[in-house]
Amino acid sequence: MRISCLYTSLNIAALAITTMAIAAPQGGTQKKPPAPKPPAVNQVKGQQQLAGASVQFGTVYSLKNGFNFAVLAARYTLEPFVAYAPLTAKTDMKLLVLDFAIKNANPDDNFFNPEDMLTLVDDKGQLYTGGSMALSSKKADTASVTLRPGQGLGQPELKDPLQWGFVIPEKARIVKIMVNQGRKGRNEDALRYYIAGATKEEAGENGDPKNVIAPLPTEARDPADASRSTPLPEGKGTVGTYAPSGSFALRLDSFAYSTDPLVDKNGPAEGKKFAVATVTAKNLMQTTPTMFDVTGGDDPLYAITDSDGEREKPVAYRQAKRDADPDHEFKPGDEYTFRVLFALPQDATAKTLILGTGNSRKWAYDVSGIK
């Protein structure tokens, strides 16, 4: 036991001496500790742009997939895009639609698959892929198609437009359209349409004046946006004119006030009057929606702003001529007229009427001059 303790004491003493020797200054001068290394910088090398070419609307390009390809025109719109995979503009969205043409340049049948064919780039660098393709004469058919040698689709002389639709945010401004195919016989992976008005900082190159995207209609666009591509939260509606909203077009036929018993043989509450908007809805799609899709169910977009600045929701929907709930299933192209009723104070007048189908674009009508 005494020997064991002696060995332990000797080990501790030796360790202390060694530690002191390491820490002791050499030559009477204490060395400064080494300066700490700067933290590692996480550098990300920029990815080199795919080899490709700058191209123009209206010009035909022979692609590596064996098709001749051309973008003929482009436009922003709020109208629904009828296709095998239909597209509609919700309250905060819009559509970009391209008119394009393809032709099989191979000596054999060639399958055209639109999947991953196009990419849109907006002014913030956001990418949009996919979309939906449709031939005007067969809008509901599948987008993929096999063409015989020399067979084409979408050429102006065929008078049967071939279109590609994309849903994008309402404030997105497209600055570049990429075709994810290079030209045949070239060392390319992509073609790039730099859109007119785009800057080099936004798109990588200045926009080409020939690559113009047509703006939204005057009644739909925000005049504060120089690109004319941003829709108003509520478009400017005109009585008697259809305006697109989701899968439908809505038309305000008339607006009036009434104290007649219009709802289940009852008139408005005491001190109130009905404001009655007569509206026609037209189904623009190939589906069969119902009145629920038109009215928006429990959260309708229909509203009235009165002279006191109060906004009121509908109190009832009635058929065009009868005191009954409108109950209608829309066939493609079908039109149906109904009434939207609001309850206002007797001494109030309406300033603005808002129309819009469920979760879709809204339109405002100035009804302040109607007594």
3-state secondary structure string across 6-67 = HHHHHHHHHHHHHHHHHHCCECCECCCCCCCCCCCCCCCCCCCCCCEEECCCCCCEEECCCE
What is the pLDDT at residue 52? 79
Higher per-residue confidence, 21 vs 213: 213
Q: Which residue ranges does the chain devote to CATH 2.60.40.1240?
A: 52-214, 234-366
What is the pLDDT at residue 297? 87
Q: How many CA atoms lie within 13 A of 85 on its CB side?
A: 12
Q: Is 213 helix (H, G, I), strand (E, B) or coil?
A: strand
When the candidates are 2.60.40.1240, 1.10.357.10, 3.40.640.10, 1.10.10.10, the CATH number that belongs to 52-214 is 2.60.40.1240
Mean pLDDT of all residues in the chain? 89
Distance CA 200, CA 174 (A): 13
Overall size of the chain counted in residues: 371
Percent of the chain with pLDDT over 70: 87
Does 169 have pLDDT greater than 60?
A: yes
CB within 8 A of 214, min separation 6: which ones?
Answer: 73, 74, 75, 76
What is the pLDDT at residue 71? 98
Percent of the chain with pLDDT over 90: 81
Q: Taking the alpha carbons of 140, 145, 150, 156 in that order, is the dihedral positive or negative?
A: positive
Q: Which helix (H) or strand (E) holds 128?
A: strand 127-129
pLDDT digits (tens, 9 = 90+) for 123-166: 999 999 999 999 999 998 877 899 999 999 999 999 999 999 99
E strand segments, 138-211: 145-147, 152-153, 162-169, 174-179, 190-194
Does 204 have pLDDT greater than 60?
A: yes
Name the pLDDT band for 13 (thresholds 50, 70, 90): very low
Find the mean pLDDT for residues 105-119.
94
Name the pLDDT band for 274 (thresholds 50, 70, 90): very high
pTM: 0.84
Among 44-53, 167-176, 224-233, the range scoring the smallest mean pLDDT is 44-53
Does 287 have pLDDT greater than 90?
A: yes
Distance CA 340, CA 61 (A): 52
Name the pLDDT band for 1 (thresholds 50, 70, 90): very low
Architecture per CATH, domain 234-366, reads as Sandwich (2.60)
| Angle, CA 292 vertex, CA 287 and CA 294 arms, to 5° | 75
According to DSSP, residue 117 is labeled -
Distance CA 131, CA 100 (A): 14
What is the pLDDT at residue 50? 64
Name the pLDDT band for 336 (thresholds 50, 70, 90): very high
Higher per-residue confidence, 52 vs 200: 200
Among 47-56, 189-198, 273-282, the range scoring the smallest mean pLDDT is 47-56
Among 92-96, 185-189, 210-214, 352-356, the range scoring the smallest mean pLDDT is 185-189
Name the pLDDT band for 49 (thresholds 50, 70, 90): low
Among 11-15, 132-136, 226-230, 238-242, the range scoring the smallest mean pLDDT is 11-15
End-to-end CA distance of the chain: 115
Among 31-40, 248-257, 358-367, the range scoring the smallest mean pLDDT is 31-40
Does 40 have pLDDT greater than 80?
A: no
Q: Which of 10-24, 129-143, 171-185 has the highest mean pLDDT?
A: 171-185
C-alpha dihedral, 60 to 61 to 67 to 73, nearest 10°: -50
Distance CA 96, CA 167 (A): 7
